[in-house]
Amino acid sequence: MPLSEAELLLRLPDRLFIGGRWVDAENSNTFAVFDPATGQRLARIADASPADGLSALDAAVDAQEEWAATAPRVRGEILRRVFELIQERRDELALLITLEMGKPLSEAQSEITYGAEFLRWFSEEAVRITGRYGPNPEGTGQMLVSQRPVGPCYLITPWNFPLAMATRKIAPALAAGCTVVVKPAELTPLTTLFVAALFAQAGLPAGVLNVITTLNSAAVSEPIIADPRLRKLSFTGSTPVGRILMRQAAANVLRTSMELGGNAPFLVFDDADLDKAVDGAVAAKFRNSGQACTAANRFIVHSTIAEQFISRLGAQVADMRVGRGTEAGVTIGPLINDSAVEKTSDLVQDAISRGANLITGGHSVDGPGSFYEPTILTGVPLTSNILNEEIFGPVVSIVEFDDEDEAVRLANNTDYGLVSYVFTESLARGERMIQRLQTGMMGLNVGVISNAAAPFGGIKQSGLGREGGAEGIHEYLETKYTLIPNG
């Protein structure tokens, strides 16, 4: 029998996970977590203080040496076991993700498939950490190059994919032999606590994974980042917060990975297959109600096919159903909170005031919860804020172009460089776009490209480093060179 919402919430861990134990915050403070679809409180959980944060780091430091010395196969088997536990508990977990984040249950299930895959992928990568051994050019000795775990890591995650953003960091760190302190976003911390319980069940030694939840991320994070025992900071979130953290990390020359914001261009050429382009647009824009760093932000459409593209996309949008993600048939959940609705609304109003045409949507939805209608804007002036900022809402903003150079110029006209989407039936043009578009990732005739086996990450102000793929584990490994002179 599936668990009811009430039963699920009753059984959830609600304390900090430090040194293998569930503990209250030292000052017993707590904070509330809300359902964005109803505004109702879901849970009250521990609100860590800076001292709790440092206790979590103490635990990670204490566990580091033994975890690094644990056989890679054993590390991998624990990750694999958590992968399996997630499959066994996936309906509960999907409900939890939907309750705290809002996405429809079917999307929560997709996030579980994607997020769990990092555990399986890195369970397999744990046993493939290799090095090199060979003579130096002078022939006087042997050069040994080996890979060592970086050491204790601090992992900060955002609210929009509460499972996948956590497993994308935890799995490679643990596979590499690093211990971690994880700080999930205050808006969606419950999923990470749930996953911590699965790690404990899978037999992870105490202190290897610690989770702190807090309303005061800045105050709790600063002393952790300043502590010389910390060896790595991995952050996923907005570019402005990433900049603050990079400044803090500079004091100790701390290694960092930064998965930051995006402003993805979505290019539709006149030789595109419009069925693929419209399906791709729906996936790249409306998944997670547009609240993805990879969400298409700027639709750059060839003028000769713009009318057809807009009318076909409009027909798909007309069929979308906005509502609580737990209800059958709902395709668009709420935004994360009322300020997200306000921000989306301001961006749409700004574009309209500058001359954009509103084709459909354009309003928040009355009643409880934080909802915004799926919206299409055309003829969006280039000066509009909506083309220059991450929307993080279900709004399609369309500009038209006439030739390839113009399309590329428009696409690259941003400080961000995470992902681009290109729709063309010409292989030669597709290849030119791979060369010319300034992004770390690209979807060619497809609107969703994330995969645990692929290196995810951006260039320019979208960040530093890669998560996933063969590259992902290297973010948590140091290269060590040793010279062994001939005997």
Residue 117 and residue 262: Cα distance in Å, rounded?
23
Applying CB under 6 A, does 413 fall inside the site for ligand NAD? no
Residue 400 and residue 407: Cα distance in Å, rounded?
8
Rule CB under 6 A: choose which of 241, 249, 278, 377 binds ligand NAD. 241
Residue 482 and residue 475: Cα distance in Å, rounded?
21
| Strands 264-268 and 296-302, bridge-based pairing | parallel
DSSP 3-state of 232? strand
Which parts of 372-391 interact with ligand NAD (CB under 6 A)? 390
Residue among 221 and 256 whose Cβ is closer to ligand NAD? 221
Residue 480 and residue 487: Cα distance in Å, rounded?
21
Rule CB under 6 A: choose which of 115, 172, 207, 262 binds ligand NAD. 262
Taking CB under 6 A as the binding criterion, the range among 25-33, 234-242, 404-412, 443-451 that sits at the site for ligand NAD is 234-242
Alpha-carbon torsion 417, 421, 424, 430, what sign?
A: positive
CB of residue 140 to ligand NAD, shortest distance in Å:
46
Residue 5 and residue 325: Cα distance in Å, rounded?
13
Residue among 306 and 418 whose Cβ is closer to ligand NAD? 418
CB of residue 358 to ligand NAD, shortest distance in Å:
25
Out of 259, 373, 400, 475, pick the active-site residue: 259
Query: Has 259 been annotated as catalytic?
Result: yes
Applying CB under 6 A, does 265 fall inside the site for ligand NAD? no
Radius of gyration of the chain (CA): 23
Q: Which residues contact 69 (CB under 8 A, 6 or more apart)?
A: none
Rule CB under 6 A: choose which of 43, 59, 410, 418 binds ligand NAD. 418
Write the single-letter amino acid at 26.
Answer: E
The answer to whether 60 and 181 are in contact (CB under 8 A) is: yes
Minimal CA–CA distance to 357: which of 375, 344, 343, 374? Answer: 375
Applying CB under 6 A, does 230 fall inside the site for ligand NAD? no
Residue 429 and residue 411: Cα distance in Å, rounded?
15
Residue among 306 and 386 whose Cβ is closer to ligand NAD? 386
Applying CB under 6 A, does 217 fall inside the site for ligand NAD? yes
Applying CB under 6 A, does 412 fall inside the site for ligand NAD? no
Q: What is the dihedral of CA 221, 222, 227, 229, to 10 degrees?
A: 30
Total binding residues for ligand NAD by CB under 6 A? 26
Q: Which residues contact 404 (CB under 8 A, 6 or more apart)?
A: 269, 429, 432
Rule CB under 6 A: choose which of 51, 71, 218, 483 binds ligand NAD. 218
Minimal CA–CA distance to 422: which of 235, 276, 257? Answer: 276
> What character string, x for contact with ligand NAD (CB under 6 A) and - otherwise, covers 420-459?
--------------------------------------x-
Share in percent of the chain as helix, strand, coil (round to 5): 40, 25, 35
Applying CB under 6 A, does 337 fall inside the site for ligand NAD? no
Rule CB under 6 A: choose which of 105, 173, 196, 260 binds ligand NAD. 260
Residue among 98 and 439 whose Cβ is closer to ligand NAD? 439
Taking CB under 6 A as the binding criterion, the range among 135-143, 150-158, 171-179, 200-208 that sits at the site for ligand NAD is 150-158
CB of residue 161 to ligand NAD, shortest distance in Å:
6
The answer to whether 389 and 264 are in contact (CB under 8 A) is: no
Rule CB under 6 A: choose which of 100, 259, 373, 475 binds ligand NAD. 259
CB of residue 36 to ligand NAD, shortest distance in Å:
13
Applying CB under 6 A, does 160 fall inside the site for ligand NAD? yes
Residue among 59 and 187 whose Cβ is closer to ligand NAD? 187
**Helices H / strands E in the chain, number of each:** 15, 24
Q: Which residues contact 73 (CB under 8 A, 6 or more apart)?
A: 126, 127
Say which DSSP state 204 is in. Answer: P
Applying CB under 6 A, does 186 fall inside the site for ligand NAD? yes
Residue among 63 and 224 whose Cβ is closer to ligand NAD? 224
Residue among 104 and 458 whose Cβ is closer to ligand NAD? 458
Applying CB under 6 A, does 172 fall inside the site for ligand NAD? no
The answer to whether 459 and 263 are in contact (CB under 8 A) is: no
CB of residue 157 to ligand NAD, shortest distance in Å:
6
H runs (alpha helix) in 319-375:
338-353
CB of residue 342 to ligand NAD, shortest distance in Å:
14
Residue 348, burial from CB neighbour count under 10 angstroms (0-12, 13-18, 19+) = buried
Residue among 261 and 361 whose Cβ is closer to ligand NAD? 261
Which parts of 276-315 interact with ligand NAD (CB under 6 A)? 293
Positions marked active-site: 259
Residues that bind ligand NAD (CB under 6 A): 156-160, 165, 183, 185-186, 217-218, 221, 236-238, 241, 244, 259-262, 293, 390, 418, 458, 463
